[in-house]
Structure 1
Amino acid sequence: MNTFIAIVIIFGLLVFIHEWGHLIFAKRAGILCREFAIGFGPKIFSFKKNETTYTIRLLPLGGFVRMAGEDPEMIQIKPGYEIGLKFDEQDRVTDIVVNNKSKHPDCKVIQVEKIDLEHKLFVQGYVADEEGLVTYPVHEKANFIHDEEATQIAPYDRQFPSKTIPQRAMAIFAGPMMNFALAAVILTAYALIAGLPVDEALVGDVTDDGVAIEAGLEQGDRILSIDGENVSTWEEMTTIIQGSANESLLFQVERGSETFQVEMVPDERIGPEEQVQGVVGIYPPTEFNVFGSILFGFTTTYEYTVLIVEALGMLVTGQFSLDHLAGPVGIYSYTGEVAAMGILVLMQWAAILSVNLGIINLLPLPALDGGRLMFIGLEAVRGKPIDPQKEGMVHFIGFALLMLLMLVVTWNDINKFFL
C-alpha cells in the first residue's frame, strides 16, 4: 500500500508539473487551452475554470494539454445547416446551438449561408419571417452548444499554429523544463532537511549495528590518522576504510580536548561494480546552509542529467540492452524498495525520475515533445510549416512504436520481478 501511495504522489506530481509547464507558457502566448488532463482514457473527475477544463482520467500513463489548433475542430458547420443563435446586449452571438434546438426556445434559428469563426467572426444566413440575408457578428469567446455541452470557439489568433516559432517552441519545451526545475527544488529541499555533506574527517553519526558504535565512536569525533597515516578529509578517510575490508585498522581520534586510539576491523560490503568495500558504520558530517542547498539542488540535477544522458548513449551504442530498461512495473517495484528506505531516499528517487522524464521527452522522437520541437525547427529552416497531415501521421506512427516499446519493456519487467 505504501508503494502505491508513493507512486501516486510521485507520478502525479511529475506529470502535473510537466503539463503545467505546457499550460502556463501556452496561455502566456495567448493559446486557447481546452483541457488540462492527468492520465488518459475515460474521465474520472473534471471541473472548468475560465477557458480550461481540468480532468483526471482513468489510465495513469501521463497527461496532456489540449491546445486549440493542434487537432481539427470537432464541430464544423457548413452552408445549409440550421443552427440556433443566442446574443449578448451588443447583439453579438454568444452561443451557437448545433442540435437539440427545441431545448433552447429563446434562440434564433438561422439557415447558414456563410460562417467564419476563425478570422472575421460572423455568421450569415436566412431567418424565418425575415427577408434576405442577415449577418451577425460572433463574440470571440462564443460557445458551440452540442448535446448540451459547451465548447468555446477558437479564433485563429488563439490557435497554436498562429503563434510565432519561439512562442510555440517555448510552449512545448516548457514541459520538460519544469521537470528539471522540479528536480532542483526537490533536491534543494532534501539538502535543507538532511544537510550538506562536509568534506572533513568527522563522524557525522554512527549506525546502530556497525563496528564504529561497538568501538565507542560518537557523533563529532574527529579522525586524526589511520594506521599512522594522517587524514583531514572525509574522502581520505573513507578511501582507506573502503580498501581495508576485514583488516585491522588503528584510528587516532580527537574528542574535545582528549585524544585516544581505537582499533576497528571494517565489515565487508559489496559496492558499485561488484567491488568489495570496507565499512565501519559512520555517516558523513553535514551542515545547514540555504545558499549551499540551492546550489546543491542545481548541481546535483545537472549531474543526474549527465548520468542519464550517458546511459542513453550507451543504450544507443549497444553497451546497454533493453533488459536494462525499466517500465511501469519495474519503476513500481523500485519505488517500493526506495520508499522502505525513508523519505529522504524517496526524495532523491523522485528527483531522478523527474530528470529522466524531462530527458526522455526531449528526445527527437515522434509523439514526444522533442519530436514536436524537431518539426518546429524544420519549419524555421524551411521557412514554412510541414504539412499538418504528414506531421500528424509521423506522430501517430511514433506513438504506436513507443507503445510497442512500452509493452516490450513491461514484459521484461514482469519476467524480471515476477517470473
Structure 2
Amino acid sequence: MAAHYFPYIAGVVVLGVLVLFHEWGHFIVAKRCGVRVDVFSIGFGPRLWGVKRGDTDYRISALPLGGYVRMAGDNPVAERTGAAYEFLSRPRWQRFLIAIAGPVMNIVVAFAIFWGIYAFASEPYVPPTVGEVMAGTPAESAGLKPGDIIISISGKTVSTSAASVDAIRGSAGHALEFVIQREGKEIRLVITPALKKLPNDQSMWMIGATIASQERRPREGIVAAAKDAALQTVDASKQIGGVFAGLFSGRVSVHDLAGPVGIMQLSGQAAKSGPMTLLALTAIISLNLGLLNLLPIPILDGGHVLMLVIEGALGRDLSVAVKERFVQVGLIFLLGVFAFVMYSDILRVVQNHGH
C-alpha cells in the first residue's frame, strides 16, 4: 500500500520544497525592502498548522498545490494606511525586485542542483534501459517492459540510449530485432517502429518507449562544474521556452503539459531510479516553475512585473479598476488552463492503471 502512494509522496515533497524556495525568495527580498509580511504559506486554503514569529504567520495549508506570501498593503482594492511597511507604499523598483525574487530563486536552485550533480556525483555506467512503455504502441505489442536492458538491435550492439534511438529512427519502418536482458535472461523481441508526427510538423520513427542510459562520468572541479551547470541551466531554459512558445503558437497542445498530479508521478518514478535522477528532475521542475512564473500573465509574478513596467512607462500607477480587470482576466485564464491540465493528468493516471 505504501509503495502505491510513494510517487505522490515524493511529488508532494519535491513541489513543497520548490514552493518553499520560491516563496522564500519573495519573503526575504520583501523583508529587506522593509515590507511587513503577514503570512508565509506552503499550500492554499485552510490553515492546517503554523507558528507565528514576529509579524509573520508561517503556515502549512490544506491544498499542497503551491504557496503564497501575503504582504501588508499588497491588495490594491483593500484599504491602505499609507504606512511605509506596506507593499504598495514602497518604490516601484523595490516592488519589481520583490515580484521577480521568487522566480529568480527557482532558477538559482536549479543551477545549484546542477552544480552539485556535476561537482560531487560520480555516476557509474548504466546500459540502455527501458523506462516507460506507452500503451497501444509497438513496444507494448512486442512485449517490451520497463526495466528491460537493451543489448543489441538487429545484430548491432548498443551501449547508450543515443545509439538505441538512432537505430530506431533510422529503421525506415522496418522490423528490428531487439536482444534484451530481463531478470538475468536474454530475450529476443521483434519490434516494428511506427511513424509519429511531432508538434513541429516533422515525423519520426518511434517504438513508444523511453530509453535511458548513463555514461561513466567522473567528478568535476568546482569551477568546471559551475560552467557546465550554467550551460545546462541555459540549455534547459531554451527548451522550456520553446515549449511555452509552442503553446502560444499552437504547435504544442495544453494536453501535453503535466500538472501537479503528473509532476508527482514523474517524481515518484525518478525517486525509484535513484537520487541523482530525482535531483536532476527537481532541477528541471524548479526551472519550469521559475520560468512559468515569469510569463507576463496576470496573477503570475510576470504579470505583476508587466504592470510595474507599464506604470513605469506611464509615470503613474494604474487605476484600481484597471488592475482588478487585469487580475480577473488572468485568473480566469489560469483557472481554465489548470483545470484542463488537471483533467489530462487524471485521465493519464486512469488510462495507465487500466493498462
Shorter-chain TM range is 0.7 to 0.9
Question: What secondary structure sits across from 1:400 in the alignment?
Answer: helix
Verify: 1:54 aligned to 2:58, yes or no: yes
Indicate the SS of the match to 1:156.
coil
State whether structure 2 residue 17 is matched by structure 1 residue 13: yes
1:268, CA displacement in angstroms? 9.1
The total of aligned residue pairs comes to 296
The answer to whether the aligner puts 1:69 opposite 2:73 as a matched pair is yes
Unaligned runs of 5+ in 1: 77-116, 119-154, 197-203, 213-225, 227-233, 248-266
For residue 292 of structure 2, what is the aligned residue in structure 1?
360
The answer for the alignment partner of 1:166 in structure 2 is 93
Q: Which amino acid aligns with 2:89?
A: S
Q: How does 1:50-129 map to 2 (within 5 A)?
A: 50-71=54-75, 118=81
- State whether structure 2 residue 214 is matched by structure 1 residue 287: no
Asked if 1:185 corresponds to 2:106, the answer is: no
Report the CA distance between 1:246 and its aligned residue.
Answer: 6.3
Choose between structure 1 and 2: higher strand proportion.
1
- Label 1:385 to 1:190 Cα distance change in 2 as closer, same or farther (>3 A): same
Q: Which residue of 1 aligns with 2:236?
A: 304
**What are the equivalent positions in structure 2 for 1:112-261 lying under 5 Å apart?**
118=81, 156-195=83-122, 205=125, 207=127, 211=151, 242-243=166-167
Aligned-pair distance for 1:167?
Answer: 0.8
SS at the partner of 1:386?
coil
Q: Are positions 1:315 and 2:247 aligned together?
A: yes
1:136-156 superposed Cα distances (whole Å, 9 cap, x missing partner): xxxxxxxxxxxxxxxxxxx52
Question: Helix, strand or coil: the match of 2:96?
Answer: helix
Letter in 1 for 2:122: G
Separation in 1, partners of 2:293, 2:14: 17
Q: Give the Cα–Cα distance (whole angstroms) in 2 for the partners of residues 413 and 206 of structure 1.
A: 30
* In structure 1, distance between residues paired with 2:252 and 2:77: 44
Q: 1:330 aligns with which of 257, 262, 275?
A: 262
Using the alignment, how far apart are the partners of 2:339 and 2:165 within structure 1?
45
Q: Which residue type is aligned with residue 96 of structure 2?
A: A
* Maintained 8 Å contact 2:14/2:267: no
Show the counterpart of 1:397: 329
Which amino acid is 2:345 matched to?
D
Structure index of larger Rg: 1
Q: What is the percentage of aligned positions where both structures have the same residue?
A: 30
Asked if the contact 1:44/1:57 (under 8 Å) is kept, the reply is yes
Give me the whole-angstrom Cα distance separating, in 2, the residues matched to 1:241 and 1:396. Answer: 46
Deviation string 1:297-353 (CA, Å, 9 cap, x unpaired) is: 222111111001011111211111222122222222222322222211111111111
Question: CA distance change for structure 1 residues 299 and 418 in 2, over 3 Å: closer, same or farther?
Answer: same
Are the aligned partners of 1:2 and 1:339 in contact in 2 as well (CA < 8 Å)?
no
Give the 3 Å change call, closer, same or farther, for CA 370–239 of structure 1 in structure 2.
same
TM-score, with length taken from structure 2: 0.73
- Report how far residue 174 of structure 1 moved: 0.4
- TM-score of the superposed pair, with normalisation by structure 1: 0.62
Question: Corresponding residue for 2:36?
Answer: 32
Alignment RMSD, CA only?
A: 3.5
Kept in 1, the 8 Å contact 2:76–2:320? The answer is no
Gaps of 5+ in 2: 130-148, 171-175, 179-188, 197-203
- 2:315 corresponds in structure 1 to 383
Question: What is the one-letter code of the residue matched to 1:2?
Answer: F
Instruction: State the distance in 1 between where 2:206 and 2:332 align.
Output: 41
Q: Report the 3-state secondary structure (helix = DSSP H, G, I; strand = E; otherwise coil) of the residue aligned with 2:75.
A: coil
* Cα distance change of structure 1 residues 240 and 162 upon mapping to structure 2, 3 Å threshold: closer
Matching residue of 2:138: none
Determine the C-alpha separation between the residues in 1 that align with 2:343 and 2:125.
Answer: 43
- Residue 158 of structure 1: CA displacement? 1.0
Task: Compute the displacement of 1:282 (Å).
Answer: 7.7
